[in-house]
Chain A
């Protein structure tokens, strides 16, 4: 009984495809999205830049780690845009004669790692709390919402500064603080969506069939909420990157000898009068990366929204 139906189905379905074999199959979903991306030149440029930064973040320290830390006192504060010391010194050298370009490529790793971990942790933990708050409600929901209000009513930079100074500025603490300050938005969004979804028919159906609360949340509700949370995370990433840079700039983020872009800007601050390129180029790297991320996440938001996608296709 069970095997007979698919058998008919397959033979029926194969017939038309055989007769139209010379027509190329419609492009897959991934390819269609790539074509859409190619159509929007700004978003495409952003995507390429982000890809480049990610590649440098992964392979940079491995390829250029030695060059980035090698001092060369004869190249101290060397001017940019000359090739006499090789292409690595095209952006000049810092106060100890280290190549700025190599250092920018290597420093991207810390910035990216902190931002990725913090945003991911905030999304998972905040999202889970929000899901539970919306589904269980009651006093638990209230506590979660008050907590979100409390974190949100003070700007993340300030909380981060107070806590980091008091706890000791280490990478782990930086990630924890940034993660906590970004959590409320996921809590609120997840809760708001769950409040609406849990009243729908398929949730009642699952409950009638005897599914546990955990199964309903994990299996039926979370998959609907996840795309919204991912979109927020994409937008959040650039913001967290900027906050991390600001903290490192103020000297309570990542500490030397580790480097991040914000720290490089801060170190170059003392040489503004003699060597402007020390702080200019790392800051430019921050801005271009944040800009690319913003362009890309704007595009993703439209491309993943079936109601708005036509805007990209015309």
Chain B
């Protein structure tokens, strides 16, 4: 397990380094932040002072070298927009996104496994047909359109839910969570159903039934545990997607999450924030992937990560 973790960390580090280099240089191609942050009639001295203070007058490779040195010292730079350490800004936003993911993924996982298992129990039955079509619909629906249609129906016509906003109150959570749920749910039901179908026809399920094990424990203990591996893989993918910023949902519903922060930082040429958000989400996704590998080993003791 130890060497395995080190190898995984090394691979993730390589990908991250590649992406950070790409973003560092691409971001600086979009233009000089000076023009964006100082008024049009700013004096030449003010401009010079600004560029020198933030080091934008140096050649790009010098800036990159300085970035690496600061990174090694644990300094991620300051946000130009908010004049605060970038890591604070990013962590605040990341917390919002994390709370969304923490609500959405467990609901999607548990719900889809139950629906998928019941659908696979009687393939071709009424529940299976309805479930399969609903799952396909969910996987095909564009999230921005679902969000907008939801606003039209529940906010503008019925007036039950707020159009946007982010506060502790439950009503602000209903639409963002539902919209985020739809696609993972649709995908996971399909995966769970397929995986359960193949497990139901395997020998150990027949053995369990022949031994006289109760049908409920055959489904939810014998079969389910073995059918979970592919479901967990896809769920991990979806969780990583949300952690990287549920851009659309955060934009439409005005949630100050990390996806919206990244978009804003691109538009505002706030390079330090952009780089830090990518770093933070990469660490989060690495953690999710490791958690999934541990879950594999837990569900199927034959799997050893060597």
* Interface residues, chain A, with chain B CB atoms under 8 Å away: 42, 146, 149-150, 153-155, 157-158, 161-163, 165-167, 238, 242, 245-246, 249-250, 262, 265-266, 269, 272-273, 276, 279-280, 283-284, 286-287, 290-291, 293-295, 298
- The CA of A279 and the CA of B26, in the complex, are separated in Å by 33
Q: In whole angstroms, what is the CA distance A95 to B268 when docked?
A: 31
Minimal Cβ-Cβ distance residue in B for A277 = B152
Q: Which of B55-63, B138-146, B217-225, B293-301 contacts A (4 or more CB under 8 A)?
A: B138-146
Decide if B208 is an interface residue (CB 8 Å cutoff): no
Residue pairs across A and B with CB atoms within 8 Å: the count is 112
Check if B227 is an interface residue, CB within 8 A of chain A.
no
For B36, the chain A residues whose CB sits under 8 A away are none
Q: Contact: A250 with B266, CB < 8 Å?
A: no
Of B145, B251, B263, B278, most A-chain CB atoms within 10 Å: B145
24 contacts across the A-B interface (CB closer than 8 A)? A42-B133, A149-B14, A150-B14, A155-B244, A157-B247, A158-B262, A162-B23, A162-B262, A162-B274, A165-B266, A166-B27, A166-B29, A246-B144, A246-B248, A249-B144, A265-B145, A272-B152, A272-B156, A279-B148, A283-B148, A290-B140, A293-B140, A294-B136, A295-B136
Given A265-B144, A280-B152: A250 and B251 interface contact (C-beta under 8 Å): yes
B144 neighbours in A (Cβ, 8 Å): 245-246, 249, 262, 265-266, 283
> In the complex, what residues of B have CB within 8 A of residue A158's CB?
244-245, 247, 259, 262
What residue of chain B has the Cβ atom nearest to residue A239's Cβ?
Answer: B139
Contact at B266–A150, with CB atoms within 8 Å?
Answer: no
Interface string of B222-259 (1 = CB under 8 A from A): 00000000000000000011001101100100000001
Q: Is the interface of B mostly helix, strand, loop or mixed?
A: helix
Is there an interface contact between A287 and B140, defined as CB atoms closer than 8 Å? yes
User: Chain B: interface residue count, which band?
Assistant: 35 or more
Task: Give chain A residues whose Cβ lies under 8 Å from the Cβ of B285.
Answer: 153
- Complex CA gap A146/B16 in Å reads 11
Give complex CA distance A11, B241 in Å: 65
